[in-house]
Amino acid sequence: MAANMRRPLFLYVVVGLLLGSLSGSQSSAHEEHPAHLPDEKKDMIGFRAYLMENMGDNAKELNDKLKAGNVAAAKLNAHAIALHATRIPDLFPAGSLSGKSRAREEIWQQWDDFVKISQTLRDEAMRLGVAVANGNAEAVNAQARKVFGACKSCHDKFRKPEEKQ
């Protein structure tokens, strides 16, 4: 029960950090996405793809900013990743496979491991947001590597490779 009570508090903290970071920060990670977010109830796979793509776009943009030495500008990206990461298990209801989904069946066969990896990403992304707020470039870069490692861990195990066209 205590764990269930912590999740809403955690979500409020993440949302608060994200909203606080919006003032004065700009990000283009959303610009390639459709104008309207797919309806989660009518098109779960489309909704999931939208959020996962947005998280990937934020990760790429964050990495570019860090490579350029612009730690402060990475704040919004770090918080967007953390916010989206809180939703990952809910984005994969049982049986939500389709030809357009890159999700592997192993997600549901190894559900506990999938959830654990998504929680690791969430936690590491939250730590990244704190590191960015503190402004220490060395700590931010080290924490970003942990976030990218968590992404890779999940992709290696639970995501189909991209089909070549």
At 21, which amino acid appears? S
Taking every pair of Cα atoms in the chain, the longest distance, rounded to a whole number of angstroms, is: 48
- Using the predicted structure, report yes or no on whether residue 147 has a pLDDT greater than 90: yes
Give the pLDDT of residue 15: 46
**Taking Cα atoms as reference points, which of 36, 39, 26 lies closest to residue 65?**
26
Query: 76 and 27 in contact (C-beta within 8 Å)?
Result: yes
The mean pLDDT of 106-112, rounded to a whole number, is: 96
Write out pLDDT tens, residues 26-45.
455 545 545 566 666 678 88
String of DSSP letters for 82-129: HHHHTTGGGG--TT---TT--B-THHHHTHHHHHHHHHHHHHHHHHHH
**Taking Cα atoms as reference points, which of 26, 17, 32, 23 lies closest to residue 82?**
17
- 22 vs 113, which has greater pLDDT? 113
At 113, which amino acid appears? D
Please, what are the domains in the chain?
A: 2-23+40-158 (1.20.120.10)
Give pTM, 2 decimals.
0.76
